[in-house]
A and B are shown apart, each in its own frame.
Chain A
């Protein structure tokens, strides 16, 4: 009888340890994904001064928008590298606002033929497209990692070992701005 108890105890301990390892791995994956986001966001931040410098020459009536973008960039830059869930959530919100602001800027630029055809602006727009694609990719990697971590922590016996693995408050998801969401329709391009 006592042999069976021992076997059950050993299996339980091994099971908990395996679960603990899985949580630690997933936690590290989230950290890796978060740093991936920061890399892409800093590329976005590096692009902004150039875009603003070109836009200022043509968009005299859009100074408020340009000032907003510059402010949001500063806010976003200050929060790069933060690991506290609350600070991360604030960073994501600020970056989403920045993304929307940049989107608006390029939309406004469409109404200014000279700005739209400016060689530097064309190049900046192409780079922006690439950077935004990479930001979206980093966001998807991060969200997938957060989902995996949440699953491991919230499914029994995850709750028992999450604290031991150093996972307290769950990291937030990085939701895409509403303006960037939409259904994919392959048929449109086939």
Chain B
């Protein structure tokens, strides 16, 4: 099933970004524009994409 693979892929990409960028790229950045901003921005991106996906794909039924 294609959707099963795409779910897995999206989940993996999110997990990799969520962990590796703060721990290995932004670790020593002493500013709100370091890990704090990155995690907030990543979450917001997933929220907006998730909501757009839900809104566009879950049809108009009910």
A and B part of one assembly: no
Residues of B bordering A, CB below 8 Å: none
Measured CB to CB, the residues of A under 8 A from B are: none
